Amino acid sequence: MNAAPPRIVAGVLACLFGGPLLAAQAPQRIDLAEGLAAGKLKAVNRDVTKLDGQGRPGAVHVSEREGIGVVWIDGSDFTEGTIEVEVRGRDLLQRSFLGIAFHRKDDTTYEAVYLRPFNFRAQDPVRHDHAVQYISQPDYDWPRLRKEFPEEFENPVDASIVPTDWVPLRVVVAGQKVRIFVGPATTPTLEVRRLGQLTRGPVGLWVGTMSDGDFANLRITPAKGQER
């Protein structure tokens, strides 16, 4: 017997499942250094430079400055799915905050996930528990979250992670949940409910006040059925 043509098979399956099949979206791999050279990195309150000889082709450095800094990736448009990046900070108290911003409405309205490398191996148990953080700017910054929802929106990370190494950070957004994986973790390092009403927008590299950071291997994978 001859096999049915692919279009017929797809049509039958669509009828069975009540709608069109949703194909998995391919990851969007972003070479940050190429993006910088092409003018695709839009820095707010920071300077961005290419990193050479760091073992991470395409890596960039985001400078240190007072106040929050974000480097928006021109052309990125994220709703749900996965954002992955490697980050490298410093083991310097209150001087290393870095991560990923997403769902930008404007330069002060977005969601973000970031690390505090100086707390990765802190002996103080309170500091140790404050190593990864979720925020939704401007209404739900970390001081309000820590006061009103203590320990809900931040967590420790695996103590094997070296604070000054390149650290994989993976953020999975699905519906009203954000799951965050740091380092080698195969289970979420932090899982939180989303705050605010933002639903889509550009992705950015995020650094906190008086912080710099290195970023490489950015990859954005939309959820099945999401527009690119």
Tell me the C-alpha distance between 56 and 58, whole Å.
6
Per-residue pLDDT of the chain (228 residues; tens, 9 = 90+): 444 444 433 333 333 333 333 344 788 999 999 999 999 999 999 999 999 877 899 999 999 999 999 999 999 999 999 999 999 999 999 999 999 999 999 999 999 999 999 999 999 999 999 999 999 999 999 999 999 999 999 999 999 999 999 999 999 999 999 999 999 999 999 999 999 999 999 999 999 999 999 999 999 999 987 655
CB-side neighbour CA atoms (13 Å) of 139: 5
pLDDT value of position 224: 84
3-state secondary structure of 128: helix
3-state secondary structure of 64: coil
pLDDT value of position 162: 98
pTM of the model: 0.87
pLDDT value of position 6: 41
* Domains of the chain by residue range: 24-222
Tell me the C-alpha distance between 203 and 123, whole Å.
34
pLDDT value of position 54: 78
Tell me the C-alpha distance between 112 and 115, whole Å.
10
Tell me the C-alpha distance between 61 and 110, whole Å.
22
Amino acid identity of residue 134, one-letter, is: Y
Domain 24-222 classification at class level: mainly beta
